[in-house]
Every structure is written in C-alpha cells, then in structure tokens.
Amino acid sequence: MAHTNYDLFVIGAGSGGVRAARLAAKAGARVAIAEDSRIGGTCVIRGCVPKKLLVYASEFSQAFRDAKGFGWSVDLARFDWPSLRDNVQAEISRLSGLYRKNLEAAGVAIFEQRAEILDANTVHLHAAGAALTAARILVATGGASYRPAELKGQELAITSNEAFHLGRLPARMLIVGGGYIAVEFASIFSGLGVETTLLYRGDKILRGFDEDLRDHVQGELARTGVDIITKAVLKDIAALGEGRRLATLSNGMRLELDSVMFAIGREPNTRGLGLEAAGVKLANNGAVVVDEFSRSNVASIFAVGDVTDRINLTPVAIREAQAFVQTEFMGAALPFDHADVASAVFGRPPAACVGLTEAEARAKGQVRIFKSVFRPMKNILAGNEQRSLMKLVVDAASDRVIGVHLAGPEAPELIQLAAIAVKAGLSKAQWDATCAVHPTAAEELVLMGEAVAHDNEAPA
C-alpha cells in the first residue's frame, strides 16, 4: 500500500496496548499509541493494582483480631481512609509514569487524546484534529463499568471506578452484583469496617465458578460479616439528604445506606470508536469479533484484551498482544492458547481456579473428585473459624487433573503453580507421587488420596 504514517497505531494504552506497542517498536516498526484517559489502563489505574492494595489494607482488621491468640496486644489500632486512598493513588501515578517511560524508551509516539477509526487504515485524533494512517490498527480499549441506565436513581450510585476516590468511607454500603468485582469490593469495604450488604439476583454468588467453590466462598464471606441477599434485584435508589440513599429491593426490603455501588459487570469499550463505519464486525454486546490471531473481519484491524470479551484478564491481554506482535511483525504465526488459564478472586476468603469445573468435566466424561475442607493451622490458635477448600477434578479415563479449585489465604499464589501442572497434563498419580511440604496448606494438594465422588462406572 501507499506510504503510511505508522506501521501500527494502537488505540488504548492499557496492559495489552502498551505491550503490543513496545514489542512492535522494538521489532523495528513505526508505532503510535493513543489514550484518552491515563496511561496504564483499567488494571493499573482502576482495577487490579489499586484493588489489590485495598485488599491488603482490608486484611489487617482480621490480622489484628487473630494477633491475640499469638500473644500480641493491638490496642490502639485505627484506620484512616484518606491516608490509604492517597497512598494508593500515589502508587498508581508512579506506575502510570513507568508505563509512559517504557513507551518513550521504545520509541513509541504517544497521543494523549481520543482516537477514532475512520476507515481500514486511518485514525482521527480528536484534540489535534488530525488524521493519521497506519498499515495496521490495534484496538485495545478494554472494558467499561456497566450502569443500568433504566434504573431510577442509578446516578446516585457509584461503580468500581469511583470506589477508589471516595471522599470518606461510608458507614453502610450496598454492593449490587455477585461476580468477582462485587465479591472483592464487599470483602474490601467490610474489612475496612463498613457495614456491607451484597445483593445478587441469583441464588449463589460467583456464577461460572465450581459449585463447591461458590458454596464455600458465599458461606465464608457471610461468616466474616458480609450480609448477602440473593434472589432479589435493586428496584430504585432515592436520595435521603446528607448524602444518604434509600435502596428499594424487589423482595420488599428497603435499605438506608451511605453508598450504593454497581458491580454488575463490564462491557467492551467500543462506543464511539468508529468500528462500525470501518466495517468491523461486533458481537451483540459490542465486543470486537476476532479470530485466533486477534484479527477482525477487516484485514488491517486487530483487537486484543477485554474489548474482545474472550477471557477478560490482564495477563491474557498481555499474552494476546505478544502473540499479535510475533505473528504480524516477527514472522512467527503464533496464536495464544486460551485453554486452562488460571484466575483468582481476591475476596474473603480468596478463591482461585484453573481448568474445568466439576459440572463442565462431567458433561465431557467420567470424573473422580477429590476435596478437602480444613481450618488452616494459623487460624486455630487465633480462634478464627474460617476454613479453606481444595478440590481436584480428575478425568477418570486418563487420570489427568483437569480442574483445580481453591479457597483460602494462599489460593491465588498456589493456583499459579497448579496451573503449570494442569497445563502440562500431569496425572493425579504424578501429583500424589510428589512429596508434601509440611506444615503447609499446599500439602493438601498432594495428600488427597481418596476420591469423595466419582461416576459409578468409573474406576475408583
């Protein structure tokens, strides 16, 4: 084609977009990136990183309660929300600055303004009023918090975006939703001393996770003080004055609160990008439809990360970006394998999984199930009744461990190593042949010798 301004123009400077831009530039491509918010994207600015810092803060309250059993007296502990909030935002600014420096060091041109696709090879920069051309355009705009526009009083509620910037910590809070974002923020605010209610329309939180894991997390979250209301929805929100809210539920309950937070999902961030005009096919929810190489139906337009609604996790966006660059700029056609991607919910207790749920595995064939529920050693002296869960799903025919589901303090850390074993296709016999490390919670993973459930016709 005729000369273009860039070999690659990336829209969205989140984890996926930044990785693609840097790698392509290092491979010798002329690269530009546009971002209409802060460099770093959802994960760094309003997602994984600040959320995990809040999770750390929320865990101190339980640690202080547990300390007495170990001989420690913590009599003057008190929490200051503005200090935490401002410290977290300072760290976010530092990380955003590092992302910028890395882009600049790689030679990527940065445009801090909104970009819109005009056609297959042209991007319009709104603030500059300029049109630039590129041989390839990569859409990496992520997702956006969903608000129910039809709900009366929805403007009185916040989303996870605003939760990081609250002027003061609410005394009473309603979180609407039952997915990982809702569970994580319910755990955070409850741990920080907020009287927290979680409202979910289904009968059990964490839809899509293994049923035993769902049961365990819901029970333990309630045990630690979160009030969980299921089988009901929010009907409307009204202002009561002095910043308070009245939430009316479909079951007739009326809750007086200081804050209502929506955590009812995210949607692909494709509005106003010009994708339809460029002929790019979108799914019903607005996601960019792509093939295994992250190519849209328009040959020069690609997409990675949450905007494609494949697996909405930061590491997945990064790996999709790497595969895109390797395929398009390094001459090695390499799709990212989306099978057996581990994930974690940083709630109370933390939960993590990789591979198939028991239900998914049973739909494919015969299985054996191994499960252990126990109180971690640390909790015994502390008088802490919280339990951990470990569950293995094993294919009966091959003896392969095809699913691992964990809930407990170390779950997110353990699942990374368990994911290696699952991805490698290791058998239950190989897990069992691995000597335990004692005393640890992780040793349960190699000590579950007897199946607690298996198909009648499957070998025991």
Q: What are phi and psi of 451, to 5 degrees?
A: -65, 135
Question: What would the two tokens of residue 205 be?
Answer: 């939180």
Helix, coil or strand: residue 288: strand
Measured between alpha carbons, how far is 388 from 24 in angstroms, rounded to an integer?
Answer: 44
Spatial distance between the Cα atoms of 146 and 268, rounded to a whole number of angstroms = 10
Q: In whole angstroms, what separates CA 397 from the centre of its chain?
A: 33
Task: Please say if 438 is a catalytic residue.
Answer: yes
Helices (H), 277-339: 314-329
Kindly tell me the number of DSSP H helices and DSSP E strands found in the chain. 12, 22
Cβ atoms < 10 Å from Cβ of 271: 10
Sign of the torsion angle spanned by Cα atoms 150, 155, 158, 161: positive
Contact by Cβ (8 Å): 89, 164: yes
Which residue type does 12 have? G
Backbone phi, then psi, for 403, in 5-degree steps? Answer: -160, 135
Q: Which helix (H) or strand (E) holds 24?
A: helix 15-26
CA dihedral 224, 226, 228, 234 (to 10 degrees): -170
- Rounded to 5 degrees, φ, ψ at 422 are -65, -45
Of 3, 165, 216, 438, catalytic:
438
What ranges in 47-177 are assigned the alpha helix state H? 48-67, 81-105, 160-163
Residue 249, number of CB atoms within 10 A of its CB: 18
Nearest to 301 by CA among 78, 138, 92: 138
- Separation CA 108–CA 25 (nearest Å): 6
Between CA 15 and CA 23 the distance in angstroms is: 12
On whether the CB atoms of residues 408 and 376 are closer than 8 A, the answer is yes
Beta strands in 122-253 (DSSP E): 122-125, 130-139, 143-145, 172-176, 195-200, 227-230, 234-241, 244-249
Q: How far apart are CA 458 and CA 460, in angstroms?
A: 6
Q: Which residues are catalytic?
A: 438
